[in-house]
Amino acid sequence: MTTQTSSSLQSRADARRSAVCIVGNGAIAKTAALGFSQAGHSVTLLVPPARPGTEESSSSSSSEKPWDVRVYALNHTAQKLLASLKVWGALDMARVAPVDAMDVKGDGEQGGHLGFDAFGAHTGTLAWIVEDSNLNMALDAALRFAQNVEVVTGRACKLSCSALGTKVELEDGAPIEAQLLLGADGRESWVRGQCDIGIDYRSYHQRAIVANFSCEKPHHNVAHQWFTCKEGIIALLPLPGDKVSLVWSAPETLADTIMDESLGELAIRLGEYSESTLGLLKPLQPEAVKAIPLALVRPHAVTAPHAALIGDAAHAVHPLAGHGMNLGFADIVDLLRVVNEREAQHGIGDERVLARYARARKEDVFLMQLATDGLERLFGANLEPVRVVRNLGLNLLDKLPLVKRKLIAHAMGK
């Protein structure tokens, strides 16, 4: 990040100025914009130009649209935040499925088993499965009516900082000045790079294969997960009606094979695991399948002078627990809290305020990274003694209700 004097920071009379500038165009960036706006701060949301062919038609209703292959298992922290911002009620609830139970199985004929349910967790539901498009449509609608939010389309090319705040320069030369800059621009964050924040990066050599299927038998709002060794981690998440969403964290070689096959062939592959519980699977949309590279990303810091990282820019984790998005929503909750609780003499971009945000997020993020990375390593080991121990571990954990209740309470964000 380039450091400038206060006079040079204010040199452009035509600069856009706001309390907060947020770089990003995903659900985390939009939620942060709404959160800071409703807390009384002016916000500039900088979004990149849309790629050709990515604009969605708004002529058809949500219920008529194909099912989105990108879905999130939102926990209670996410739900409460979205409800407080009047976004949860704007979702098309006909396309939201509750998760009332989870069924986790180990590998091999004598694979271990671990089950969670809402009753045992003393809650109404464990999580909610929400499509990316459903969530973003509700956020976009809220942003259109949000006060003090200006959405700017452009590509950032330079970031500089002074004692007063930050300045983002766009490719067309237009500057955006703010007291606080938020990097919500994903795993390959431009903001993080401009702030000279290093990362620890480890590829999992896997791709998340995502697609949707109808199932022959009712899923009863149960999320199923299979930890295999050679074929990765397979999850089938409930969608409304007799539909399920697949997230298969497959080794790269297998992922390449799957992507070369038809979805019908993929359904046959899945049948080896799912047929006894869900019956035959049929693709909802033959052309709708994506493969997303998976990696662990640990930034060396989540703050810089007048800047903070949120969402995948601050932490990218393995999707086996389904909590990457939830960590991002928790980032917003903690950041809004420390900004709201700051002393009157401290600005929202003050280093002491941002240090409190970093401390607040450290344990939660570390534990999730440790758990997801550890489980991926454990179930990726193709050794018989390791396989026996991990299956015994699942069975033992399943018989410890108090431990299970603590684990699920943490996952739910309670």
Q: Answer with the residue of higher pLDDT: 57 or 140.
A: 140
For residue 55, the model assigns a pLDDT of: 54
List, in sequence order, the alpha helices (H) in 282-400: 324-340, 351-380, 384-398
**Helices and strands of the chain, counted as H and E runs:** 11, 20
116: confidence class by pLDDT, cuts 50, 70, 90: confident
Mean pLDDT of 277-298: 90
Q: Answer with the residue of higher pLDDT: 52 or 389.
A: 52
For residue 279, the model assigns a pLDDT of: 96
59: confidence class by pLDDT, cuts 50, 70, 90: very low
Over residues 324-344, the pLDDT tens digits come to: 899 999 999 999 999 999 999
Over residues 387-404, the pLDDT tens digits come to: 555 656 666 656 556 655
DSSP assignment of 147-181 equals TTEEEEE--EEEEEE-SS-EEEEETTS-EEEEEEE
- Tell me which CATH homologous superfamily contains domain 2-52+67-412: FAD/NAD(P)-binding domain (3.50.50.60)
For residue 376, the model assigns a pLDDT of: 66
Q: What percent of the chain has pLDDT over 70?
A: 82
159: confidence class by pLDDT, cuts 50, 70, 90: very high
Mean pLDDT of 284-312: 92
Query: Which residues on neighbouring strands pair with residue 97, listed in sequence order?
Result: 129
Query: Which residues on neighbouring strands pair with residue 199, listed in sequence order?
Result: 299
Q: How far is CA 25 from the centre of its chain?
A: 13
Q: Answer with the residue of higher pLDDT: 1 or 242.
A: 242
Strands 156-161 vs 101-105: parallel, antiparallel or unpaired: unpaired
Q: How far is CA 328 from the centre of its chain?
A: 6
For residue 402, the model assigns a pLDDT of: 62
Strands 101-105 vs 43-47: parallel, antiparallel or unpaired: unpaired
* Average pLDDT of the chain, as a whole number: 87
> Residue ranges per domain, the chain?
2-52+67-412
For residue 4, the model assigns a pLDDT of: 46
| Two structure tokens written together for 324 | 């990457």
pTM of the model: 0.88
Q: Which of 93, 100, 183 is nearest to 135 (CA)?
A: 93
For residue 63, the model assigns a pLDDT of: 54
| Two structure tokens written together for 356 | 């409190």
If residue 304 lies in a helix (H) or strand (E), which one and from where to where?
A: strand 303-304
For residue 400, the model assigns a pLDDT of: 59
| Two structure tokens written together for 174 | 């237009």
DSSP assignment of 262-283 equals -HHHHHHHHHHHHHHHH--EEE
Residue 287's contacts (CB-CB under 8 Å, 6 or more residues apart) are none
For residue 384, the model assigns a pLDDT of: 52
CB-hemisphere CA count at 13 Å for 221? 16
Q: Answer with the residue of higher pLDDT: 162 or 313.
A: 313
Q: Please say if the pLDDT value at position 122 is more than 80.
A: no
Least confident window among 58-72, 111-125, 387-401: 387-401
Residue 150's contacts (CB-CB under 8 Å, 6 or more residues apart) are 16, 18, 43, 44, 45
Mean pLDDT of 202-223: 95
Residue 55's contacts (CB-CB under 8 Å, 6 or more residues apart) are none
CA distance 361 to 357: 6
Over residues 351-386, the pLDDT tens digits come to: 999 999 999 999 888 888 777 776 666 666 554 555
For residue 395, the model assigns a pLDDT of: 66
For residue 10, the model assigns a pLDDT of: 41
Q: Answer with the residue of higher pLDDT: 255 or 12.
A: 255
For residue 142, the model assigns a pLDDT of: 97
CA distance 318 to 296: 7
CA distance 74 to 77: 8
5: confidence class by pLDDT, cuts 50, 70, 90: very low
CB-hemisphere CA count at 13 Å for 346? 16
For residue 247, the model assigns a pLDDT of: 95
Over residues 32-50, the pLDDT tens digits come to: 999 999 999 999 999 999 8
